[in-house]
Amino acid sequence: MSDSNSNSAFSAPPQALLKTPLHALHTELGARMVPFAGYSMPVQYPAGLMAEHLHTRTAAGLFDVSHMGQLRLVGADAAAALESLIPVDVIDLSVGKQRYGLLLNDEGGIIDDLMFFNRGKGEIFVIVNGACKVGDIAHIQDKIGKRCQVIAMPEMALLALQGPQAVNALARLAPGVEKLVFMTGGNFSVNTGTQKIAVFLTRSGYTGEDGFEISVHGEQAEALARALLAQPEVKPVGLGARNSLRLEAGLCLYGNDIDSGTTPVEAALNWAIQKVRRSGGARAGGFPGADKILAQLADPASTLHKKRVGLMALERIPVREHTTLHSTDGASIGEVSSGLLGPTINQPVAMGYVKAEFAVIGTRINAMVRGKAVPMQVSAMPFVPTRYHRA
């Protein structure tokens, strides 16, 4: 799932910023703190964004993502209730497995994207984006609160350990995690050397790398983070590198690449809608905006007016969000939603929305950067191959 940023990256602070349980540790480590999703969050540490990004690609980076919202849906009808809000197969998800979902409004627009996990015994664990969590929880409570318990978990922190060596570092402290595969998880005990910390974790993340997201009580989050940072593979990583990592992986940032005015099909998230929820499926439709979304899936040529695409600059000029996109003959055809210089490939990459007829891979278009036309090409995503542990 994405981080969320309703006012674009690292926006102006509200009157009072919240602090995660790791705030003191970030300060001790020399992090540069910025306002994000209503929290004071580390954008980078002294090593800098580029070093943090490359370290995550080669070793293991530790991220504080405690601004995210965690909640439990509890009751015999919890899976069916959640399924009524998202165009995703919840009912058939096996115990011990996780899935990506999209919370929709009545027009089929994306209220938020989320991750959900079947814990068994009528319990679904859900993670939503930080900037959206208050509204999300209120929306879920209003829509399905009479069908199941909706239990917010503000006492919990969330850490993400990402990178090809993440499993080596974590398995030293929590033997057994190496047996998990992508999008599975469970309860584990982490031995820090001085105490054992109970956590719930999944083998998943937001970087395109192998890794884990670890839910832990806020009172034990700092001890867990210190134990992980004591491992030789692990270094702290901030929001700046988290953003560049997810963009190279072709993953959406809520508020930039997806929002309440964008449907899953326009966002090229068709893969997240299983056959059972599509036309002809056993439980087709039944979610907000179903008529519109199913029509877009069935006949994109006549129903889609825009589509999210990957873009690669053909000159070494980074193309940022909100940059307008033109056809080669000068007509306005869309806008960049996220863009930067990809540190791993050392080339400018972006995502954006273009008129559907320009969404074919290989299409040449221009980004208008300070009045100059920067040539770009519609490209397949991810820009960097993912390395999720599936076997």
Largest alpha-carbon pair distance within the chain? 66
pLDDT computed for residue 391 by the predictor: 83
The answer to whether residue 253 sits within a structural domain is no
220 and 357 assigned to the same domain:
no
Instruction: List the CATH number of the domain containing 164.
Output: 3.30.1360.120
Mention every residue, 6+ apart, whose C-beta is less than 8 A from residue 16: none
Q: What is the mean pLDDT of the chain?
A: 96
Model pLDDT, residue 280: 98
Tell which residue, 362, 359, 372, has the closest CA to residue 315.
Answer: 372
| Distance separating alpha carbons of residues 179 and 185, to the nearest angstrom | 10
Q: What is the mean pLDDT of residues 245-271?
A: 98
How far is Cα 52 from Cα 60, in angstroms, rounded to an integer?
9
The pLDDT of residue 5 is above 60? no
- Encode pLDDT of 259-270 as tens digits: 999 999 999 999
Inside any domain, residue 76: no
**Closest residue by Cα to residue 354 from 337, 328, 334, 373:** 334
3-state helix, strand, coil in the chain (%, to 5): 25, 35, 40
The pLDDT value given to residue 208: 98
Same domain? 367 vs 218: no
Any domain includes 196: yes
DSSP 320: -
pLDDT over 90 at 13, yes or no: no
Within this chain, do residues 51 and 159 fall inside the same structural domain, yes or no? yes
For range 180-205, the mean pLDDT: 97
Is pLDDT above 70 for 8?
no
Which residue, chain included where needed, has tokens 């939503």?
Answer: 128
Beta strand 110-120 with 32-36: parallel, antiparallel or unpaired? unpaired
Q: What are residue 201's DSSP bridge partners? A: 186, 214
3-state SS, residue 199: strand
Q: Please say whether the beta carbons of 309 and 268 come within 8 A.
A: yes
Position 73 pLDDT exceeds 60: yes
pLDDT score at 4 = 62
Q: What percent of the chain has pLDDT over 70?
A: 96
Q: Report pLDDT for 11.
A: 42
3 state DSSP class of 63: strand
Co-location of 44 and 160 in the same domain: yes
Same domain, 208 and 330: no
Q: With contact defined as beta carbons under 8 Å apart, do 339 and 318 qualify?
A: yes
Q: What is the CATH number of the domain that holds 315?
A: 2.40.30.110
Q: What is the pLDDT of residues 24-60, one digit of tens each?
A: 999 999 999 999 999 999 999 999 999 999 999 999 9
pLDDT in tens, 136-186: 999 999 999 999 999 999 999 999 999 999 999 999 999 999 999 999 999
pLDDT value at residue 16? 87
Please name the helix (run of DSSP H) or strand (run of DSSP E) that holds residue 84, with its range, or none: none
* Residue 314 and residue 235 share a domain: no
Residue with tokens 């099909």: 265
The stretch 364-382 carries a mean pLDDT of 97
Per-residue tokens: 300: 């994109």
* Residue that is last in its domain, among 214, 229, 248: 248
Q: Are residues 55 and 165 in the same domain?
A: yes
**Would 293 be classed as within a structural domain?**
no
pLDDT at position 2 is: 63
3-state secondary structure of 338: strand
Give domain status of residue 65, yes or no: no
Of the residues 248, 283, 315, the one at which a domain ends:
248
> 243 and 358 share a domain?
no
pLDDT of 352: 98
Q: Determine the pLDDT at residue 167.
A: 98
Domain range spanning residue 346? 305-391
What's the confidence (pLDDT) of residue 15?
59
Residue 144 included in any domain: no
Q: How does residue 304 score in pLDDT terms, banded at 50, 70 and 90?
A: very high
Tens digits of residue pLDDT in 80-133: 999 999 999 999 999 999 999 999 999 999 999 999 999 999 999 999 999 999
Domain count, the chain: 2
The pair of structure tokens assigned to 336 is 């960049």
- Would you say residue 298 has pLDDT above 80? yes
Residues 160 and 242 in one domain: yes
The string over 295-323, giving b where at least 16 C-beta atoms fall within 10 Å of a residue's C-beta and e elsewhere, is bbbeeeeebbebbbbbbbbeeeebbebeb
Judge if 244 and 371 occupy the same domain.
no
218, 248, 278 - which closes a domain:
248
Condensed to tens digits (0 to 9), the pLDDT of residues 207-219 reads 999 999 999 999 9
User: Within this chain, do residues 55 and 159 fall inside the same structural domain, yes or no?
Assistant: yes
**Domain shared by 243 and 320, yes or no:** no
- Strand 156-162 and strand 60-64: the pairing is antiparallel
Residue 94 is assigned to a structural domain of this protein:
no
Within-domain flag for 228: yes
Q: Is the pLDDT of residue 12 over 50?
A: no
